Amino acid sequence: MKEKENILSVEDLGVSFLVKEGQFARKSQKLQAVDGVSFRLERGETLGVVGESGCGKTTLGRAILYLEKPTSGKIVFKGELVEDILRKNPLELRRKAQIIFQDPYTSLNPRMTVGSIIGEGIEIHNLAKGRAKQERVKELLGLVGLDASYIARYPHEFSSGQRQRIVIARALAVDPELVVCDEPVSSLDVSVGAKILNLMLELQKRLSLAYIFISHDLDVVAHMSDYIAVMYLGKFMETAKTHDIIHNARHPYTRALWESMPRIGKEKIVGLKGEIPSPLNIPSGCRFRTRCPYATELCAQDVPPLTEFGDGQLVACHYAKEIKDGTHVPTNAPV
């Protein structure tokens, strides 16, 4: 069996900001957007990060690439601290780790041709010049399923799906090893989005890319990922192989996310109750307790640690075992 190659290790990562609540607030408050997140990612594999909007998943993706500076913890990329890479050779990190954003409209400069958009990174990183650069751009267009003759066109001449293909070609132009994909299909029609997802899977296989795939849609994340981390108010609530998140979810939040997914033939959609609390006012103990039907006094007092349940499945719930075997039933009274 081929040995795995670690691409990324994240240990106890934290990201916080000082913010003012309201226009006339005098004091700043600390907003902990990411809190104690740890994981590893191997070459050719995908970690999916899923959660409602405001759970910190986008901040996590940006912090991994140091587009947002972490306030604690460490990130190791291919065996080297990202801080050290940035000090010695910042361009190297920008080349090896790329990001694909949600909106293919705002992420492409409308005044640049497709050729200059895709060729920009090739030039900055000195990978090819002149004719060789043009040829490489054409090759990349082919790789993402676009005609090489599109090289002189402008972004407004393309559909949203084609634009996202251009965004992907731009990311691949510099031969990255890690790509953070932040809701890459959420602004696209379902059928167009499905084609982009399949293209991304095909490219991953061909180029041995490691992906961090961020989305609010658990179905999409499950389609793309080898492992899934379920995030709530800045913390991982459950992480496991995709198969276990689908068939053996233990955390009440993961189960509620599955329940709230619309399905054909499903009579009633049992959605998540209530709103996600403000990250400026995180509940004591288990931060999911204000929406959890299984919550008890203990949940208000103690933070549940991430505990292993075999085969790498980690769950942060005081009653993960009891909920699974049916000995702890819903109280329907979050505390």
Gap between the Cα atoms of 66 and 292, Å rounded:
34
In this chain, which stretch among 44-52, 129-137, 158-166, 314-322 interacts with ligand SF4, using CB under 6 A? 314-322
Residue 317 touching ligand SF4 (CB under 6 A): yes
With CB under 6 A as the contact rule, the residue among 213, 227, 236, 288 that binds ligand SF4 is: 288
Q: How far is the CB of 277 from ligand SF4 (least distance, A)?
A: 13
Q: What is the distance of C-alpha 255 from the center of its chain? A: 19
Residue 319 touching ligand SF4 (CB under 6 A): yes
Instruction: Closer to ligand SF4 by CB, 66 or 294: give it.
Output: 294
Residue 51 touching ligand SF4 (CB under 6 A): no
Instruction: Closer to ligand SF4 by CB, 159 or 331: give it.
Output: 331
Token digits of residue 290: 């204000």
With CB under 6 A as the contact rule, the residue among 13, 252, 256, 314 that binds ligand SF4 is: 252
Instruction: Closer to ligand SF4 by CB, 127 or 282: give it.
Output: 282
H or E segment to which residue 247 belongs: helix 242-247
Is 240:314 a contact under the CB 8 Å cutoff?
yes
Nearest to 241 by CA among 311, 321, 323, 317: 311
Dihedral sign computed on CA atoms, order 53, 215, 229, 179: negative
Q: Which residues fall within 8 angstroms of residue 218, CB to CB, at 6 or more apart?
A: 50, 228, 245, 257, 258, 261
Q: How far is the CB of 237 from ligand SF4 (least distance, A)?
A: 7
In this chain, which stretch among 5-13, 207-215, 260-268, 316-324 interacts with ligand SF4, using CB under 6 A? 316-324
Residue 299 touching ligand SF4 (CB under 6 A): yes
Q: How far is the CB of 233 from ligand SF4 (least distance, A)?
A: 11
With CB under 6 A as the contact rule, the residue among 295, 306, 329, 333 that binds ligand SF4 is: 295
Is 55:34 a contact under the CB 8 Å cutoff?
no
Is 161:148 a contact under the CB 8 Å cutoff?
no
In this chain, which stretch among 152-160, 212-220, 259-267, 294-302 interacts with ligand SF4, using CB under 6 A? 294-302
The alpha-helical segments, DSSP class H, found in 144-235 are 160-172, 190-207, 218-224
Q: How far is the CB of 317 from ligand SF4 (least distance, A)?
A: 3
Gap between the Cα atoms of 328 and 42, Å rounded:
36
With CB under 6 A as the contact rule, the residue among 119, 304, 313, 314 that binds ligand SF4 is: 304
Gap between the Cα atoms of 82 and 63, Å rounded:
11
Gap between the Cα atoms of 265 and 267, Å rounded:
6
Chain residues in the site for ligand SF4 (CB under 6 A):
252, 286, 288-289, 292, 294-295, 299, 304, 317-319
